[in-house]
Amino acid sequence: MTQQQSGQVMERIEIMLHPRSIAIIGASAKLQYGGRFLNNLLEAKYSGSIFPINPRYEELMGVRCYPDVSSLPEVPDLAAIIVPFESTMTVLEECARKGVKTGVIITAGFAEKGTDERKAAQEALCDFTRRTGMRLCGPNCLGIANVKDRIWSCSAALPDIQTIAAGNIALVCQSGASAFGPFLARARDRGLDFSYIISTGNEVDLDTSDFIRYCIHRPEVKSIVAYFEAIRDSDKFRTVAKEALALGKPIVAIKIGRSSAGQRAALSHTASMTGSDQAYDALFKQTGVTRLDDWDEVLDVASLLAKTPPFHKKSIGIVAHSGGVASLLADKCEQIMEVPPPSDTTCQGLEAILKGRGSSANPADITWHAFEEELVDILNLMLNEDAFGGVILGTAGSDNQAKRIIGAAEKTQKPLAMLWTGSEREVKGLKLLQSSQVPVFYSVETLGKAIKASLYYHRIREYYRAGGS
């Protein structure tokens, strides 16, 4: 792809994610795909022009309805195609004649069906994009969302759409049901918010790499979560991933198809040939992409990479309110990096606070001081310790405790991460931490994976910045 072509793709994605007007071809009164698409835009209070298209209605949900694309009063920036499979090409040709530049095809039933006829129908979509220049997301997707600007161009069932906040993680996902289902639900449970949610489906035109490239150039995006069934152009992905490295935008990914059963599922889902798992591992390792295997891990690791600076050395300080918690963290961390003893100065400072209780070593067992004002002094001592590249705190408590932790994190250039030892349903303390720049973990195992990912990501980034290839 030439630089000019890449620029045109980015311009079209910009239009797709920031449309001033949207046509919904196949809108309906029923809250199925067409009805949900219209309802989502209305519930999110989309400020642009909405043009429902369905010849059976004069009005839908209080919005004037049009019989066809040609009757629209203006050219929409984005067309949503939600029609029966057999009508897809006819509708797309109408869009092209109208001058529509971007479209998202919700309609399914193409190459994922596995028949020669449906594969040919998908190839016809490829020919259409090459012939007309109209850029497409999909088919067989659930749509896209620009969360920051509250543009929910999707057919997902989102009953509480008005309460979904915007954040600094972009999600690019081949599976629409995964994107708007478990990824979104798990992220909200963790207080993590997305800037963009993009489901790509069969990727007949724009693919995951195109959308990742767009996202890494957005200032509000600090890390990318990606879900791959297949990477259709590995050279393009390699280029994009290296571009993300240069920009300091980490990519954390799930790539399904490790097993033969997973490969068969991907083929029937979005017609994706998953390819050699070992080849994908090598590609990700070369480009600094962290590969994990479930939604929770991906989100937690992406949060740490988005929120914290790199460890300036491969060592860590550990603080906890309990010797048991401290020991568990030490066991996990020492598999990854050093857990060195603190300096005499730090030990003396800790001892002056603890007064013989707990342990003034590393890990530091600070007992009930974790819940008092002294926690600030303890964290400052540990964060200022030259022997530590970062600090992990294992505890749970009140809003006041959370404010002390957040304050300490704001004053340091080292990573400070939290292992929450209380209930994930807790509100006090946890909600403040989740909304801060302190990454919160609920599993020692996942915390370990996040630390390992951070060390590797920043090491390979420095390698490329130093001229490696």
Domain stop point among 305, 338, 356: 305
Task: Please indicate, yes or no, whether residues 229 and 348 belong to a single structural domain of this protein.
Answer: no
Task: Please indicate, yes or no, whether residues 328 and 277 belong to a single structural domain of this protein.
Answer: no
Residue 401 lies in a domain: yes
Say how many domains are in the chain: 2
Task: Please indicate, yes or no, whether residues 335 and 211 belong to a single structural domain of this protein.
Answer: no
> Taking the complete model, does pTM exceed 0.85, yes or no?
yes
Task: Please indicate, yes or no, whether residues 234 and 317 belong to a single structural domain of this protein.
Answer: no
Residue 468 lies in a domain: no
CATH number, domain at 368?
3.40.50.261
Residue 39 lies in a domain: yes
Domain stop point among 289, 305, 321: 305
Residue 467 lies in a domain: no
Per-residue pLDDT of the chain (469 residues; tens, 9 = 90+): 677 678 899 999 999 999 999 999 999 999 999 999 999 999 999 999 999 999 999 999 999 999 999 999 999 999 999 999 999 999 999 999 999 999 999 999 999 999 999 999 999 999 999 999 999 999 999 999 999 999 999 999 998 999 999 999 999 999 999 999 999 999 999 999 999 999 999 999 999 999 999 999 999 999 999 999 999 999 999 999 999 999 999 999 999 976 565 455 555 445 454 568 899 999 999 999 999 999 999 999 999 999 999 999 999 999 999 999 999 999 999 999 999 999 999 999 999 999 999 999 999 999 999 999 999 999 999 999 999 999 999 999 999 999 999 999 999 999 999 999 999 999 999 999 999 999 999 999 999 999 999 999 999 999 999 887 7
Task: Please indicate, yes or no, whether residues 327 and 235 belong to a single structural domain of this protein.
Answer: no
Residue 450 lies in a domain: yes
Residue 132 lies in a domain: yes
Residue 82 lies in a domain: yes
Q: What is the 3-state secondary structure (H, E, C) of the chain?
A: CCHHHHHHHHHHHHHHHCCCEEEEECCCCCCCHHHHHHHHHHHCCCCCEEEEECCCCCEECCEECECCHHHCCCCCCEEEECCCHHHHHHHHHHHHHHCCCEEEECCCCCHHHCCHHHHHHHHHHHHHHHHHCCEEECCCCCEEEECCCCEEEECCCCCCHHHCCCCCEEEEECCHHHHHHHHHHHHHHCCCCEEEEEECCCCCCCCHHHHHHHHHCCCCCCEEEEEECCCCCHHHHHHHHHHHHHHCCCEEEEECCCCHHHHHHHHHHHCCCCCCHHHHHHHHHHHCCEEECCHHHHHHHHHHHHHCCCCCCCECEEEECCHHHHHHHHHHHCCCCECCCCCHHHHHHHHHHHCCCCECCCCEECHHHHHCCHHHHHHHHHHCCCCCCCEEEEECCCHHHHHHHHHHHHCCCCCEEEEECCCCCCCCCHHHHHCCCCCEECCHHHHHHHHHHHHHHHHHHHHHHCCCC
Residue 379 lies in a domain: yes
Domain stop point among 305, 322, 343: 305
Task: Please indicate, yes or no, whether residues 243 and 329 belong to a single structural domain of this protein.
Answer: no
CATH number, domain at 219?
3.40.50.720
Task: Please indicate, yes or no, whether residues 357 and 394 belong to a single structural domain of this protein.
Answer: yes
Task: Please indicate, yes or no, whether residues 194 and 319 belong to a single structural domain of this protein.
Answer: no
Q: What residues make up the domain containing 145?
A: 3-305
Task: Please indicate, yes or no, whether residues 354 and 296 belong to a single structural domain of this protein.
Answer: no
Task: Please indicate, yes or no, whether residues 300 and 314 belong to a single structural domain of this protein.
Answer: no
Task: Please indicate, yes or no, whether residues 299 and 313 belong to a single structural domain of this protein.
Answer: no
Task: Please indicate, yes or no, whether residues 279 and 318 belong to a single structural domain of this protein.
Answer: no
